[in-house]
Amino acid sequence: MNVQAKMIGKTVDISIFAIQFKNAMKNKFIDYTRLVKFEHTIFALPFAMIGFFLALKEGSDAISWVLLLKVIGCMVFARNSAMGFNRYLDRSFDAANPRTAKREIPAGVIPARKALIFVIANSLLFVGTTLLINNLCFYLSPVALFVILGYSYTKRITPLCHFVLSAGLGLAPIGAYLAVTGQFAVAPLLFSMVVFFWASGFDIIYACQDVEFDRSYKLNSIPAMTGVKIALQLSVIVHIIAALFVISAYFVLNGGWLFRIGATLFIGLLTYQHFIIKHNDLSRVNMAFGTTNGIASVLFAIFVIASFYWTI
């Protein structure tokens, strides 16, 4: 009986340990997704899907689910690398800024060393995945990493840092297109330009929250250089250019009525965010930055991809 009781006790201990380990791993996973704001992957991923399905349409190829997973993997690994590195490099600024002091590294949830290991691991996974796609993507992967990781330094150098960030995001459509075709084309480049101006415009808006902090710590941004009012006006101009590239893509692809619906919704939501944000009231910046732009990219991708297959 004693032996049986001990065996039961050990089984219970192992079960408890397994549950505790599972919960600890789950919590750690959640911590890292929060570190990189994983939900913001939705900004560029829909445009990567546009590039992917555009390539299939032009090549008349059947969809390869394995290749699609590789493309999505590249997107996730690249963005994890970029955001993780940005959080690692800016940890002292984040700790000093009341708006960002509760982020995972300054709050002590994730040690800086482990965040750097996370960045290195994701960078290697990104390069390794491109090698599994094709040689061109593999050869270009260091260039992509240079852009997306280099952004983290640019706020220390130039107020044009917003455009370096958007250059990294803008690689999504052309990168996905190259994964399928292995060659460049005009249409995916137009979608990359849409992302470039769209993302830089909303990043200018987002940076309006930290004008005084950036100035006091000698960090560069367009709002810190010009003030919030002029920065918001400049973001309007940048978003108008993004809208013009949407229209250009429509004409280049001879887009149908579904494309027109997607374009109208996308441009409409870009316009909407400029109505809800005022230079003297930035309370709805997060709504514009996260919610509005996330919805805009998803709806645009759904209708544009649908237009590749239904042209009536």
- Residue 17, pLDDT score: 58
**CA gap 242, 256 in Å, rounded:** 20
Is residue 155 predicted with pLDDT exceeding 80? yes
Instruction: With respect to residue 118, please indicate whether it lies within any of the assigned structural domains.
Output: yes
**The pLDDT of residue 104 is above 70:** yes
Burial 189-223, CB ≥16 within 10 A → b, else e? bbbbbbbbbbbbbbbbbbbbbbbebbeeeebbbbb
pLDDT score for 131 = 96
Residue 214 lies in a domain: yes
Tokens of 96: 């000093």
Locate all alpha helices (DSSP H) within 208-284, ordered by sequence: 211-216, 222-226, 228-252, 257-276
Q: What's the whole-number mean pLDDT along residues 10-19?
A: 62
pLDDT tens-place string over residues 262-312: 999 999 999 999 999 998 888 888 888 778 898 999 999 999 999 998 865
The angle, 0 to 180 degrees and rounded to 10, between the axes of the packed helices 45-59 and 293-309 is 10
Amino acid, single-letter form, for residue 15: S
Domain that holds residue 291: 44-307
Cβ within 8 Å of residue 131, ≥6 positions away = 138, 141
Distances (CA, A) of 272 to 286, 292, 300: 14, 8, 15
Percent of the chain predicted with pLDDT > 90:
77
Say if residue 14's pLDDT is above 80: no
DSSP classification of residue 109? S
* Amino acid sitting at position 8: I
According to the model, what pLDDT value does residue 291 have? 84
Question: Which position has the higher pLDDT, 4 or 175?
Answer: 175
Does residue 10 belong to any structural domain of this protein?
no
Residue 5 domain flag = no
Residue 301 lies in a domain: yes
Does residue 239 lie in a domain region?
Answer: yes
Number of domains in the chain: 1
pLDDT at 309: 87
> 145 lies in a domain?
yes
Lowest mean pLDDT among 3-12, 98-107, 109-118, 228-237: 3-12
* pLDDT per position as a tens digit, 123-135: 999 999 999 999 9
Residue 238 near residue 247, CB atoms below 8 Å: no
The torsion angles phi and psi of 278, rounded to 5 degrees, stand at -120, 155
Q: Are 123 and 141 in contact (CB under 8 A)?
A: no
User: What CATH number did the domain enclosing 197 receive?
Assistant: 1.10.357.140
Does residue 109 or residue 5 have the better pLDDT? 109
- 15 in a structural domain: no
Of the candidate ranges 203-217, 243-257, 281-295, the one whose mean pLDDT is the lowest: 281-295
Residue 41: per-residue pLDDT: 77
Is residue 60 pLDDT above 70, yes or no?
no
